[in-house]
Structure 1
Amino acid sequence: MTSISRIILGALALCCAASALAQPQAPANDPNAPKTRAQVRQEFLLWRAAGYDPNDWLNYPDNALRASRIVAQRQAQGNTAVH
């Protein structure tokens, strides 16, 4: 390789490394971060404990809204244990 090719390749590698390090890190409690499988399962169990039935498609909107309100009330009270 010629010296110009090496300089260009080195500059390209330096730019890639700098851009990778310059990206901001998401905080651990970021609400926009994707949920883990365990978090999704726990939330589903909370909804089921609040009376939500995913197989009850006849009462779907009302069933989901009612369970959503119950889960929100329990979380506001600090009671998130699944019974």
Structure 2
Amino acid sequence: MKSLIKAVALAAIIFVPVASFAQSNGEVTRAQVRAELVQLEKAGYNPATSNPDDYPQNIQAAEAKVAAQNGDASGYGSVAKGSHQAGHRVAADPTSPRSIYFGN
């Protein structure tokens, strides 16, 4: 009997920290869900008139618009916009009197 109690206590000690890490960051409230739906509707998504065939594309496009409006909140920075070239290619002189293999 004592070994069973020890085994249960040991299992509880091991399981409790694992379960605490598996929890989410917090519950989403109804107000948060409604605010997200309002943002999606302002971005052009209308769940009442959406076609079931176009559902994934419609919601993903609206979510992309909302994400672009809100900015990236991941803490790692956003996607770089534009481009920059540090240098440029130098064209070979076509009027060179010697071949590039001269002397080899």
Q: TM-score, normalised by structure 2?
A: 0.45
1:52 equivalent in structure 2: 45
Deviations 1:34-70 (A, max 9, x none): 7524333322221112121001123844532432222
2:68 paired with 1:73: yes
Between Structure 1 and Structure 2, the one with more helix by share is 1
1:23 equivalent in structure 2: 18
2:30 paired with 1:8: no
Offset at residue 24 of structure 1 (A): 6.0
Could you tell me how far apart the structure 2 residues matched to 1:52 and 1:66 are?
Answer: 8
**Larger relative contact order (Cα-Cα within 8 Å, sequence gap ≥ 6):** 1
User: Which protein has the larger Cα radius of gyration, Structure 1 or Structure 2?
Assistant: 2
| RMSD of aligned alpha carbons | 3.4
Compared with structure 1, are the counterparts of its residues 66 and 9 closer, same or farther at alpha carbon in structure 2 (3 Å cutoff)?
Answer: closer
The amino acid that maps onto 1:16 is: A
Number of matched residues?
70
> What stretches of structure 1 move > 4 A for 4+ residues in a row?
none
Could you tell me how far apart the structure 2 residues matched to 1:13 and 1:65 are?
Answer: 47
Structure 1: runs of 5+ lacking an equivalent:
79-83
Offset at residue 71 of structure 1 (A): 0.4
